[in-house]
């Protein structure tokens, strides 16, 4: 019997639940944990034609594999970020029994507070972050806030009241993700199946290594699982499980442990800025530049369709494959709203005015950044706004200052740049439109 009523369509990705040893030459053998892609269904619902990561095609028994799902996220509407004790009390002033919220501790970095209404007042419980776990009473320990809230929703367990009604945060809400969900949905990779190589880059979270996994070269981002950045790292990974496009760097899986590893497709030519600077005009021809511009717009149009803002689109976050395909990376990072207000973290020269002023990040603010990225591309990796001090960029731009076209930049590309730098986000073109303009101009080079 097949393990599912549903018919898997070509392209469906599956994870092997067990090892499969082929009994005929037509069968595709695989090991436990291998990723197998369905090529076609057959007359027999128990068997599929499929291929492995090396491109070998053969027949597989459906009940040896399971479909890979995207990782489930848990919304945390009750999480209000960094607000003060007084701020929390003001929000909870209704004082309904069991009304609650969670805030970040202002005084103790990395800690949180659970604020619960009971008996006509608000109780504040300190949530301590220790040994990579969260706890209120040093008795029960949790991996994340979601699990903690779930526990006290079931039972007061020593608190003044059971958590009954969350007070939802207005505006953008946060979410959490469990490590176990990566295992359940088929995205966890056994560390023993990975060969680690040397360091190839340095990221926000830690070093990036090259390595081998299932016969292919991969890039591995690692993070020590002893900081609260782990949640951010897991969120980046979980969003990546929902996205698949030829112009987005693909996510292959996560190694759960300490350190945590995100395994990504390997992009042999590194990031676009270094690529542009090291090769220069003689190697990077007009058609190559235009292909990059079109690849990036295509990846971004996919994110646009999903209404997902990247927030950090820049040439340093574009990676180039062996075949010269440009792919957007770092797109999963649902950046913490609080992070954005930290001075020095925001890439000022790439960020749209409304995002800088009002924290208003959107697909349209990505369009602005795309214009800056085009400027980097056609100036062979120069830093935008040369000669304008960082502190003056925003005011200059708001007064109408715009960069000139880089030397040799085609007219129509500069026209796109100017349209992306409209102060009014609504007047900026969509990525879909940009893609069309580029496609229609490809022949005219």
Alpha-carbon distance of 211 to 196, in angstroms, equals 4
Looking up tokens 């759960």 gives: 256
The answer to whether residues 14 and 8 touch, using CB atoms and an 8 Å cutoff, is yes
Q: Which residue has the tokens 């990975």?
A: 194
* Least distance CB 202 / ligand ADP (angstroms): 6
Rounded least distance, CB 243 to ligand ADP, Å: 14
The footprint of ligand ADP on residues 324-383 (CB under 6 A) is: 329-330
The one among 158, 203, 215, 408 contacting ligand ADP by CB under 6 A: 203
List beta partners, residue 254: 188, 262
Looking at the DSSP bridge assignments, the partners of residue 195 are 212
- Phi and psi, residue 15, nearest 5°: -115, 140
Cα(285)–Cα(162) distance, rounded to whole angstroms?
65
In angstroms, the CA 30 to CA 18 distance is: 8
**Of 312, 324, 330, 336, which residue is the catalytic one?**
312
Q: Does 248 bind ligand ADP (CB under 6 A)?
A: no
Residue 278 has a CB neighbour count (10 Å cut-off) of 13
The verdict on 201 binding ligand ADP (CB under 6 A) reads yes
- Are the C-beta atoms of 205 and 223 separated by less than 8 Å? yes
- Under the binding rule (CB under 6 A), the answer on residue 118 touching ligand ADP is no
263 binds ligand ADP per the rule CB under 6 A: no
CA distance 14 to 191: 19
Of the pair 140, 207, the CB lying nearest ligand ADP is at: 207
Spatial CB neighbours of 293, under 8 Å, sequence gap ≥ 6:
374, 377, 413, 438
264 counts as binding ligand ADP under rule CB under 6 A: yes
CB of 198 to ligand ADP, least distance (A): 12
Candidates 66-74, 202-210, 224-232, 397-405; binding stretch for ligand ADP (CB under 6 A): 202-210
Binding region for ligand ADP (CB under 6 A) out of 26-34, 195-203, 350-358, 361-369:
195-203
Q: Does residue 314 bind ligand ADP (CB under 6 A)?
A: no
Query: From the list 158, 215, 257, 270, which residue makes contact with ligand ADP (rule: CB under 6 A)?
Result: 270
Is residue 272 involved in binding ligand ADP (CB under 6 A)? no
Comparing CB distances to ligand ADP, the nearer of 80 and 310 is 310
DSSP for 292-334, written as a single string: HHHHHHHHHHHHHHTT---S--SGGGEEE-TT--EEE-S----
2 versus 208: smaller Cβ distance to ligand ADP: 208
CB–CB of 413/292 below 8 Å? no
Residue 64, CB half-sphere, CA atoms under 13 Å: how many? 23
* Residue 29 binds ligand ADP, judged by CB under 6 A: no
Stretch that binds ligand ADP, among 20-28, 259-267, 285-293, 351-359 (CB under 6 A): 259-267
Q: Which two tokens stand for residue 131?
A: 């040994």
**Region of 5-13, 30-38, 261-269, 381-389 interacting with ligand ADP (CB under 6 A):** 261-269
Count of positions on this chain that bind ligand ADP (CB under 6 A): 19
Interface characters, 211-240, with ligand ADP (x: CB under 6 A): --------x---------------------
Please answer whether residues 303 and 311 qualify as being in contact, where contact means their C-beta atoms are separated by less than 8 angstroms.
no
CA distances in angstroms from 182 to 91, 188, 241, listed in the order given: 35, 5, 9
Query: Beta-carbon neighbour count of residue 175 at 10 Å?
Result: 17
Min dist CB 293 to ligand ADP, Å, is 19
* Euclidean distance between CA atoms 363 and 308, whole angstroms: 7
Closest CA to 193 of 268, 267, 269, 257: 257
Q: Closest separation between CB of residue 278 and ligand ADP, Å?
A: 12
Residue 300's SS3 state is helix
157 is catalytic: no
Please say which residue, 181 or 232, places its beta carbon nearer to ligand ADP: 232
Rank residues 41 and 204 by Cβ distance to ligand ADP and give the closer one: 204
Shortest distance, position 62 Cβ to ligand ADP, whole Å: 32
Given 200, 288, 325, 334, the residue binding ligand ADP (CB under 6 A): 200
What's the half-sphere exposure (Cβ side, CA atoms, 13 Å) at 234?
30
Listed ranges 116-124, 194-202, 340-348, 365-373: which one lies at the site for ligand ADP (CB under 6 A): 194-202
Does the protein bind ligand ADP through residue 167 (CB under 6 A)?
A: no
Residues that bind ligand ADP (CB under 6 A): 200-205, 208, 219, 249, 264-267, 270-271, 317, 319, 329-330
**Positions marked catalytic:** 312
């Amino acid at each position: 019997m097949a393990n599912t009523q549903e018919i898997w369509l070509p392209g469906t990705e599956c994870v092997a639940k067990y090892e499969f040893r082929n009994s005929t030459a037509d069968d595709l053998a695989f090991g436990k944990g291998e990723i197998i892609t369905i090529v076609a269904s057959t007359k027999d619902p128990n068997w599929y034609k499929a291929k492995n990561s090396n491109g070998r095609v053969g027949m597989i028994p459906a009940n040896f594999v399971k479909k890979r799902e995207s990782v489930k996220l848990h919304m945390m509407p009750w999480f209000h970020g960094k607000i003060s004790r007084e701020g929390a009390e003001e929000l909870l002033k209704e004082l309904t029994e069991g009304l609650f919220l969670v805030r970040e501790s202002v005084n103790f970095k990395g800690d949180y507070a659970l604020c619960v209404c009971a008996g006509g007042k608000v109780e504040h419980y300190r949530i301590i972050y220790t040994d990579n776990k969260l706890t209120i009473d040093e008795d029960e320990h949790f991996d994340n806030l979601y699990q903690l809230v779930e526990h006290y929703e079931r039972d007061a367990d020593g608190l003044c009241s059971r958590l009954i009604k969350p007070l939802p945060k207005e505006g953008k809400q946060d979410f959490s993700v469990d490590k176990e969900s990566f295992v359940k949905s088929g995205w966890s990779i056994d560390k023993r199946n990975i060969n680690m190589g040397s360091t190839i880059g340095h990221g926000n979270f830690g070093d990036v290594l090259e390595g081998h996994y299932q016969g292919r070269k991969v890039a591995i981002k690692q993070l020590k699982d002893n900081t609260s950045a782990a949640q951010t790292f897991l969120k980046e990974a979980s969003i990546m499980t929902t996205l698949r496009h030829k112009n987005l760097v693909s996510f292959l899986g996560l190694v759960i442990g300490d350190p945590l590893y995100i395994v990504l497709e390997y992009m042999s030519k590194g990031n676009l800025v270094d690529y542009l600077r090291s090769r220069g005009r003689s190697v990077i021809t007009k058609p190559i530049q235009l292909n990059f511009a079109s690849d990036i717009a295509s990846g971004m149009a996919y994110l646009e369709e999903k209404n997902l803002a990247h927030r950090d689109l820049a040439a340093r976050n574009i990676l180039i494959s062996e075949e010269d395909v440009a792919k957007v990376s770092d797109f999963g990072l649902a950046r913490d709203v609080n992070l954005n207000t930290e001075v020095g973290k925001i890439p000022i020269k790439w960020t749209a005015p409304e995002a800088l002023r009002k924290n208003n990040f959107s697909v349209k603010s990505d369009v602005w950044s795309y214009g800056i990225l085009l400027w980097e591309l056609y100036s062979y990796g120069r830093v935008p706004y040369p000669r304008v001090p960082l502190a003056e960029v925003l005011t200059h731009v708001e007064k109408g200052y715009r960069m000139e076209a880089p030397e040799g930049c085609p007219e129509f590309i500069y026209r796109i740049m100017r349209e992306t730098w409209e102060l009014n986000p609504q007047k900026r073109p969509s990525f879909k439109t940009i893609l069309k303009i580029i496609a229609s101009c490809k022949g005219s080079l």
